[in-house]
C-alpha cells in the first residue's frame, strides 16, 4: 500500500511539470501541401546562442519525425521565439484568526507563499506559408525552465517541448485538438 501512495505522489509531481500547449491554425490551409521547411530568414529565438543551437537541433529532429525535410526553397518557414518569466509558486500555507460572540463574528486570514518564484519559458512556434507569406499554424508552449540546468537537461527539455508541440500538427481530423 505504501508503494502505491509513493507512486501516486510521483505521478502527481511529474504531471505538474508537463508543458501547457495551445494551438491555432488557418482553417483554409492545405497542410498536405507542406513537406519542406527552413528557418525563418530573420530567425531570432531570444535564447542564448548555445540554447538556440539546442532548440534548432530539437526542431530539426521533431520536423523530420513529422516527415518534413529541409530545403533552400521551402514550403514553410518556421519561426520560434521565446520569452522567460517568473511566476510565484502556487503553494502556500493559510493562516486565519477569528472570533465572535452573540450574533456577530470577525475573522482575518491570509496565505503565506512557500518557496520562491518559479522560472518559466514561453515558446511560440510559427509555421509560415512561404508562397502566401501568411501564418498557417502556431503553437504556444509554457513550461518550467531551470536556468541552472545542465546542457543535457536543456537539450532534453527542448526535445520534449517540441515533440509535444508538434504532436498535434496538422489539426485536420484531429479530435483531441485544442485551439487557443
The CATH number of the domain holding residue 137 is 3.30.160.670
Q: Is 38 among the domain residues?
A: yes
Say how many domains are in the chain.
1
Amino acid 15: pLDDT: 46
Mean pLDDT for 150-160 is 96
Domain of residue 35 covers: 18-88+113-166
Q: Residue 154 above 50 pLDDT?
A: yes
Amino acid 84: pLDDT: 87
Question: How many whole angstroms separate alpha carbon 35 and alpha carbon 154?
Answer: 28
Q: Is 149 among the domain residues?
A: yes
Q: What is the dihedral of CA 46, 137, 170, 176, to 10 degrees?
A: 90
Q: Is 51 among the domain residues?
A: yes
Q: What is the reported pTM?
A: 0.72
Q: Residue 92 above 70 pLDDT?
A: no
Q: Is 107 among the domain residues?
A: no
Amino acid 136: pLDDT: 95
Distances (CA, A) of 37 to 28, 70, 108, 171: 19, 5, 59, 18
Q: Is 160 among the domain residues?
A: yes
> Comparing C-alpha atoms, which of 124, 132, 126, 125 is closest to residue 29?
132
Q: Residue 50 above 80 pLDDT?
A: yes
Q: Report which secondary-structure segment, H or E, holds 112.
A: strand 104-113
Q: Is 59 among the domain residues?
A: yes
Amino acid at each position: 500500500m505504501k508503494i502505491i501512495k509513493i507512486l501516486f505522489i510521483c505521478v502527481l509531481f511529474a504531471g505538474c511539470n508537463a508543458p501547457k500547449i495551445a494551438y491555432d491554425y488557418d482553417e483554409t490551409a492545405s497542410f498536405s501541401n507542406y513537406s519542406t521547411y527552413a528557418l525563418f530568414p530573420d530567425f531570432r529565438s531570444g535564447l542564448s546562442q548555445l540554447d538556440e543551437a539546442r532548440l534548432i537541433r530539437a526542431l530539426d529532429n521533431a520536423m523530420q519525425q513529422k516527415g518534413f525535410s529541409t530545403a533552400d526553397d521551402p514550403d514553410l518557414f518556421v519561426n520560434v521565439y521565446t520569452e522567460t518569466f517568473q511566476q510565484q509558486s502556487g503553494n502556500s500555507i493559510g493562516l486565519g484568526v477569528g472570533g465572535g460572540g452573540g450574533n456577530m463574528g470577525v475573522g482575518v486570514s491570509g496565505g503565506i507563499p512557500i518557496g520562491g518564484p518559479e522560472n518559466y519559458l514561453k515558446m511560440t512556434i510559427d509555421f509560415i506559408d512561404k508562397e502566401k507569406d501568411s501564418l498557417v499554424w502556431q503553437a504556444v508552449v509554457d513550461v518550467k525552465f531551470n536556468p541552472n540546468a545542465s546542457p543535457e537537461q536543456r537539450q532534453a527539455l527542448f526535445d520534449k517541448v517540441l515533440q509535444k508541440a508538434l504532436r498535434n500538427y496538422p489539426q485536420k481530423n484531429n479530435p483531441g485538438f485544442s485551439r487557443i
